[in-house]
């Protein structure tokens, strides 16, 4: 029991640190900067951040959310995402304990958090996360206690094909309707990706989610993603008068669906099949 608690605390702290590293990746990788060099610096005054000012969450609180040198505000996103990763890793520890499944879970959820960050801020899903993650997911299915390699491969390939077809069909549907969706500022050249509401990044991400979750849980993840996306999309139109022509990144919904799928995929699947049988029979 005591061992169990030690691992829970360790997982939470590990999550905070991974969240801190994910912050660096989300800030630097979309700009093509190295994620290891130079050491962390303040984006305002470029002053290098000392290790004691770089502790996850804690330093932000101690510094009152400001840079020690130039007193400019530090984005609240940094401690927020560190805390989110800490909580996600703690949930993983509570679910799996000190077992092999903690490893794919940690990698998968780190990938999902990176998707949220980069897609919201840069309309981008890193290939290292989606393509790299798809291969990692298939490889890690060899670990005991999780999805089978067959389920992982079938789900990765199947999800890739289905999302590729959705993208192709919706593209041909909107083609020839000028100015249907206005791409966000700075992304005018990639206009076509915004027309389908689904970029290549989403197609590759679907394969990654399939690889980690297997057939049934990834089906529930994608179902949740489309459901969440529609609900939020409609709410934004109703509440903010947001135009249908303004695109919404789909990656964060897939990431949320993926995380739901990891923790509740099999339970959702059982609930769904029970419902189907009670309706049909």
Residues in touch with Zn ion (CB under 5 A):
42, 44-45, 67, 69-70
Nearer to Zn ion, 79 or 199 (CB): 79
What φ, ψ does residue 249 adopt, rounded to 5°? -65, 140
Nearer to Zn ion, 41 or 173 (CB): 41
Q: CB 74 → Zn ion: shortest distance, Å? A: 8
Q: CB 55 → Zn ion: shortest distance, Å? A: 17
Nearer to Zn ion, 53 or 202 (CB): 53
Q: CB 69 → Zn ion: shortest distance, Å? A: 5
For residue 145, give Cα distances in angstroms to 24, 44, 97, 149. 32, 47, 12, 11
Nearest to 207 by CA among 153, 139, 264, 140: 153
Nearest to 43 by CA among 18, 16, 77, 80: 77
Q: CB 70 → Zn ion: shortest distance, Å? A: 3
Partners of 66 in the beta sheet? Answer: 73
Nearer to Zn ion, 10 or 69 (CB): 69
Q: CB 73 → Zn ion: shortest distance, Å? A: 10
Q: CB 29 → Zn ion: shortest distance, Å? A: 22
Nearer to Zn ion, 47 or 270 (CB): 47
As given in the structure block, the two tokens for residue 39 are 């050491």
C-alpha to C-alpha distance for 191 and 262, rounded to whole angstroms: 33
DSSP code at position 51: G
Nearer to Zn ion, 61 or 70 (CB): 70
C-alpha to C-alpha distance for 105 and 6, rounded to whole angstroms: 19
Q: Three-class SS of residue 75?
A: coil
Instruction: Report yes or no: 133 and 208 within 8 Å, Cβ to Cβ.
Output: yes
C-alpha to C-alpha distance for 173 and 195, rounded to whole angstroms: 9
């Amino acid at each position: 029991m005591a061992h169990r608690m030690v691992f829970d605390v360790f997982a939470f702290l590990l999550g905070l640190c991974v969240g801190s590293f994910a912050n660096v990746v989300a800030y630097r990788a979309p700009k093509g900067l190295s994620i290891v060099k130079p050491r962390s610096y303040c984006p305002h005054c470029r002053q290098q951040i000392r290790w004691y000012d770089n502790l996850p969450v804690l330093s932000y609180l101690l510094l009152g959310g400001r840079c020690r040198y130039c007193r400019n505000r530090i984005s609240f996103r940094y401690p927020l995402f560190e805390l989110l990763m800490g909580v996600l890793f703690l949930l993983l520890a509570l679910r799996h304990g000190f077992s092999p499944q903690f490893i794919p879970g940690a990698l998968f959820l780190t990938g999902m958090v990176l998707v949220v960050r980069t897609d919201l801020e840069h309309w981008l899903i890193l290939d290292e996360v989606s393509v790299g993650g798809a291969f990692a997911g298939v490889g890690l299915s060899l670990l005991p206690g999780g999805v089978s390699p067959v389920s992982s491969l079938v789900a990765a390939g199947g999800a890739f094909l289905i999302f590729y077809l959705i993208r192709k069909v919706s593209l041909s549907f909107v083609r020839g309707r000028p100015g249907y969706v206005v791409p966000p500022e700075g992304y005018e050249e990639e206009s076509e990706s915004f027309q389908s509401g689904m970029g290549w990044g989403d197609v590759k991400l679907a394969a990654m989610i399939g690889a980690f979750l297997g057939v049934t849980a990834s089906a529930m993840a994608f179902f949740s993603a489309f459901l969440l996306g529609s609900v939020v999309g409609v709410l934004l139109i109703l509440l903010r008068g947001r135009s249908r022509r303004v695109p919404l990144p789909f990656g964060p919904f897939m990431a949320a669906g993926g995380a739901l799928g990891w923790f509740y995929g099999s339970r959702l699947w059982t609930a769904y099949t029970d419902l189907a049988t009670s309706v049909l029979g």
